[in-house]
Amino acid sequence: MSWIWPEGLYAAVMIGAFAAGAFRLKLPIAIAMSAAAVIGALLGGEGIPIRHLVEGAFGYIDTILIIASAMIYMKALQKTGLLESLAAFVIRKFRNSPLWLSFGLTGIVMIPGMITGSSTAAVLTAGALVAPVMMRLNVPADRAGALIAMAAIYGMIAPPVNIPAMIIGGGIDMPYVGFAGPLLACTLPLAAYSAVTLVYPYLRASGGGGEQLEQELRRMEKVPLSARLLLPVWVLVVLMAGEQFFPDVWPALGLPVDFVLAALSALASGSRFDPLEAATEAVRDSLPVMGILMGVGMFIQIMTLIGVQGFVVVSALALPSFLIYLAIATTVPLFGAISAFGAASILGVPFVLALLGKNTIVVTAAVSLIAGLGDLMPPTALAGIFAAQVIGEDNYFVVLRRCLVPGLVTAVWGIILILGANGVAAVLY
């Protein structure tokens, strides 16, 4: 009974089947992933275990509700004309101070991620708002998309809500307290770095735009920005903040209901649109991602069932100790190809346990940061896919290519924080 056999074969076949389906047969990623799961099950001697396949998909039922409802909300904002007029407003306000404009745009994208703990929500709400602003100011689309994707991930990791850290904490019985400082140390420097390197040079060079921009701005302001037009934004802010800051008195509606209520309020914001068509379009646009999550769920369940999970995790732990940091920086984001939350659960917990000598909160915060990078890893690459969508780019690899450098910097920063965890803790507490 060797280590590689048979689990190594299973892993290779499952990944190979996925790659062949997705890249050779050009099947949708969701279908390729599910097919790879079925092939893995057959190979592992489990037949076609419908119960396991469906059960695995259920791991993401709440995520797909969030995605569908967030997308419905975004469509509503678009249809009312709010996105364009708000973008025009921000450009007029800050077009002459590019550094603040770049920090401001990054911060705007982070906020919904900080509150919801979801990079998808950040990209689809705030990302969709700032994308047109950046592009009007001559930031190339790929850089605008990359900044949105990176800022969304930093938002998802920044406090108050960080789901990967909560998942790791749940796995080692550590309450989610005392994380605000370490998580800010994880994210703020990187957010500033990304803003400065990705978009600042272009914002500065654009010099506030010329006559062409002015014309563009007037077109964008066709629906004038008014308090009433902003209604769906206020409704969402109030609903999310209420649940976050007053959990004792506020009804626990949850993100999906928050999004749907805010989307409904768009009907009262003065612009007319067909809500049924808007919602259908929203679901149509989000179906590929929802399908991918279903496929990923099946894939993980079968991996676990036939022993590939243990093979992968223990192989990662088996690396020589000086390589463990390299392993964290590579395997955790790579596993994010399947799911960032899955990476936190399956790899994050054993790695944090392997580093128990260091300050656990700082280590967990840093591992969650690296797990967040999983949202850039194809095929799922939720942050990349949606960032591409909000900049109107069909091929999300265009965005991912631009994320490569800030992504690497993020991983290195995460490792530096782990190495210096006790020092960081001494400074923070």
Site for other proteins in 227-256 (CB under 8 A): 243, 247-248, 251-256
Using CB under 8 A, pick the residue from 74, 110, 131, 279 that binds other proteins.
279
Q: Is 305 in the site for other proteins (CB under 8 A)?
A: yes
The number of helix segments (H) and strand segments (E) in the chain equals 24, 0
Residues from 11 through 30 that contact other proteins (CB under 8 A): 27-28, 30
Any idea what DSSP says for residue 198? I
Tell me whether residue 245 or residue 397 sits nearer to other proteins (CB atom).
Answer: 245
Tell me whether residue 323 or residue 416 sits nearer to other proteins (CB atom).
Answer: 323
Mapping DSSP to helix (H, G, I), strand (E, B) and coil, where does residue 426 land? helix
Are 379 and 395 in contact, with CB atoms under 8 Å apart? no
Q: Is 181 in the site for other proteins (CB under 8 A)?
A: no
The contact pattern for other proteins, residues 257-276, with x = CB under 8 A and - = no contact, is x--x----------------
Q: Is 361 in the site for other proteins (CB under 8 A)?
A: no
Using CB under 8 A, pick the residue from 213, 287, 409, 428 that binds other proteins.
287
The whole-angstrom distance between residue 168's C-alpha and the CA centroid of its chain comes to 17
Stretch that binds other proteins, among 11-19, 96-104, 202-210, 353-361 (CB under 8 A): 353-361
Stretch that binds other proteins, among 138-146, 160-168, 264-272, 396-404 (CB under 8 A): 160-168
Are 375 and 117 in contact, with CB atoms under 8 Å apart? no
Q: Is 301 in the site for other proteins (CB under 8 A)?
A: yes
Using CB under 8 A, pick the residue from 69, 187, 194, 206 that binds other proteins.
69
Which helix (H) or strand (E) segment holds residue 116: the answer is: helix 98-116
The whole-angstrom distance between residue 192's C-alpha and the CA centroid of its chain comes to 18
Stretch that binds other proteins, among 92-100, 103-111, 159-167, 357-365 (CB under 8 A): 159-167
Tell me whether residue 343 or residue 421 sits nearer to other proteins (CB atom).
Answer: 343
Nearest to 388 by CA among 145, 148, 194: 145
Q: Is 294 in the site for other proteins (CB under 8 A)?
A: yes
Least distance between other proteins and beta carbon 311 (Å): 6
Residues from 106 through 135 that contact other proteins (CB under 8 A): 116-117
The neighbour count for residue 68, using CB atoms within 10 Å, is: 21
Any idea what DSSP says for residue 223? S
Q: Is 7 in the site for other proteins (CB under 8 A)?
A: yes
CB neighbour list of residue 428: distance below 8 Å, 6 or more residues apart: 181, 182, 185, 362
CB neighbour list of residue 78: distance below 8 Å, 6 or more residues apart: 128
Could you give the residue ranges of the DSSP H alpha helices within 336-381?
Answer: 340-343, 349-354, 360-372
CB neighbour list of residue 103: distance below 8 Å, 6 or more residues apart: 192, 195
Q: Is 173 in the site for other proteins (CB under 8 A)?
A: yes
Q: Is 380 in the site for other proteins (CB under 8 A)?
A: no
Q: Is 379 in the site for other proteins (CB under 8 A)?
A: no
